Amino acid sequence: MDPQTPLPSHLRMSLETGSPEPLGASWDGNGVNFSIDSPNATKVEICLFEEADSKEETERFTLEAKTGSVWHGYLRGLGPGSIYGYRVYGPYDPKNGHRFNPNKIVLDPYAREIARLPQIDTLSYSYPRDDIKSKFPEEAILQMDERDNSSVAPLARIPTGLSFEWIGDTRPKIPWEETVLYEAHVKGMTIHHPKVPAELRGTFLGLSCEPVLEHIQKLGVTTVELLPIFQSFPSARLFSAGLTDFWGYNTLSFFSPDLRFARKGKEKEALDDFKRMVQSFHSAGLEILLDVVYNHSCEEDLYGPNLTLRGVDNASYYLLKSNDLMHYVNSSGCGNTLNIHNDITKNLIVDSLRYWAQETHIDGFRFDLAASLLGSEEDKREGKDLITILRKDPVLSDLKLIAEPWDIERYEKGSFPSPWREWDDRFRDSERRFWMGTSGETNFLTEFLSFDARSTLGKSPERNIQYVTCHDGFTLEDLVSYNSKHNEANLENNKDGNDRNYSWNCGEEGKSFNIEVLRLREKQKRNLIVSLALANGIPMLLSGDEFSRTQNGNNNAYCQDNESNYLSWDPSSHERHFFSFLTFLLNYRRTNPTLRTARKVFGQKEEIDLTEKWFDVNGNEIHPNLLEGLPFRFFSRFLEIKSEKEEAYRNGILVLINREDEPFTYSIPTYFQNHSFKKILDTSEEIPFVPSNCYSMVHYPMQARSVCILETHLRAQEG
């Protein structure tokens, strides 16, 4: 029999005790071991289905064995490709946190492959509902719905167990100081690419096509951070509104790739497609990180459906309010929060991460709303908190680990120890205010642009992921085109999304045909991206910003499966110019010896041969610690390293920054009287990156709202 073909229902199988490990369903060549962790359950049944679209199960088997809190059994004779779900028995007592309902088949929390997604139907709920559009009174939840959900339940498939051949695959292991991140969405990146075969657009294999990889390499990116690729499922609200969960931050299964990114008709091969994509990236010298969501699931709040964890053991997997066990702690803002204080939930998360790391060779993870993953003080003291577990894990600690260090209740910047890195929203907001606001923010200069370890003591910027834009918020184009969010398309009356964007439309809201407004917007984009490239942390770009992608002012386009989130691969002239500028800038950042040295040694205590100086508009040197107390008009920063071969020769860069609306002539400080200069770029110019030859300089004409980079060389015969 083909191992992909389920065993016919008329062939009886024998149930044996089996093993509590590993959790999930695993085939050994003779049968399948089932194991599920449910401390409060009283009985667990395996339900087998003939086909993914079957309306009811063909057979049930009761797992008689229980080790600790784990129910297990071994079905001899069952093979790969078989389709299954669980019925979990126990108290239906919502007031005490229990939502067991054996009338509802639920998905295995460790399912490796999704055979059928749940349908959004009234049968999917543990309590009686007659529609999915309106919320019911809480009293309705107290009554158990006895209707069977077999026809609409989510189902898993036993994987073949065949191993993918990782021929010659090696993780690039790019050092952090050389890393440039690029946040992208599988479908949004590829759905409109003209050189990606039509059948691969929007898929894992589409993302690994040569034209896409060449684009990423040409841009100067080293590491792609993919928006969630775990199997997600939209909320009832989105479904009722005709929208979808495009971003994927609504996880259904923590072990299964999202079927949206599989080739049509080849859904069973989704995991292998994902592995081929990773292998292609590694062959191109590129890394892939996964944005993972372990703070909540797609089961929503107390009114949500029973799809997986809620029906397996609600009180164990979810964090419930201590004084009201019917309600969920909602630090995720999505209705529920996973209970990371419970060992079975911590095990679920660690097992999921290890699975993706070992099975797919992924290079690291970015943790959504990671503040929700921080343990109690007692757990931290005993080293039992999830963050410490991951930091010390022999498989995971060697990968790139990035925290979004907040949730809707807590801001925990600085709470994630090495080797963790953290998203830095302070950089995002400070830079935006610096370039967009009406008053200067010199703390942006001292904290984020300075490489002087003395002036940044204790701030550890080398551990920060710095960004101007990300998926959550305005794109770069919209940041300079809108003063306010325009989220009407999300059908929430424009109430969703952040109201503090620190954006500036440069004179007109939205699309403009005013040449001066358009020129200012382009210059502002260049200023923002240059400041990011010159900062002291690890830069991250948003996919599509290189082509000036717009979301038409929507700063929360999570549910827009349309042009708002799709890259256009037929850019206009000014968009091509910006792409060329960004490519040139990142290449200069990567190859300039001064910037390379500054990034590599930043924050080290030992003495290094790196000089950093700040000058005001009059050419007077200023200690960086004093910058914050000065009114801002213009400052310049100088970085210099000595040549290892010739003591008299030095290489450095002088960065001129004018954030004001008026131009002026900058007098080069007397410190540089023996230097020659080479202009690298000036953001005020239409073609801002035409490097000049070296020449002596006394003055430089600084235009309004602009940045200039001058490369300096100390003439040996005069020095």
For tokens 């900062």, what's the residue? 535
Q: Is residue 489 within 8 Å of 519, Cβ to Cβ?
A: no
From the candidates 404, 424, 546, 640, give the one annotated as an active-site residue.
404
Q: Report the relative pairing of strands 31-37 and 70-76 from DSSP bridges.
A: antiparallel
CA dist 239 and 29 (Å) reads 41
Q: Is residue 510 within 8 Å of 481, Cβ to Cβ?
A: yes
**CA max distance for the chain:** 94
CA dist 26 and 108 (Å) reads 12
What DSSP assignment string belongs to 475-543? -HHHHTT-SS---GGGSSTT-SS-S------TTSSSS---HHHHHHHHHHHHHHHHHHHHSSSEEEEET
- Cis? peptide before 419, omega within 30° of 0: yes
Cross-strand pairs, 232: 251
368 is catalytic: yes
CA dist 24 and 47 (Å) reads 14
CA dist 641 and 609 (Å) reads 6
- Measure CA 332 to chain center: 15
| Short-list 368, 361, 364, 359, CA closest to 396 | 364
| CA count, 13 A, side-chain hemisphere, 168 | 5
CA dist 434 and 218 (Å) reads 30
From the candidates 363, 368, 425, 640, give the one annotated as an active-site residue.
368
Residue 508 makes CB contacts below 8 A (sequence gap 6+) with 514, 517
Residue 48 CA: distances (Å) to CA of 52, 56, 383: 10, 9, 41
The residues annotated as belonging to the active site are 368, 404
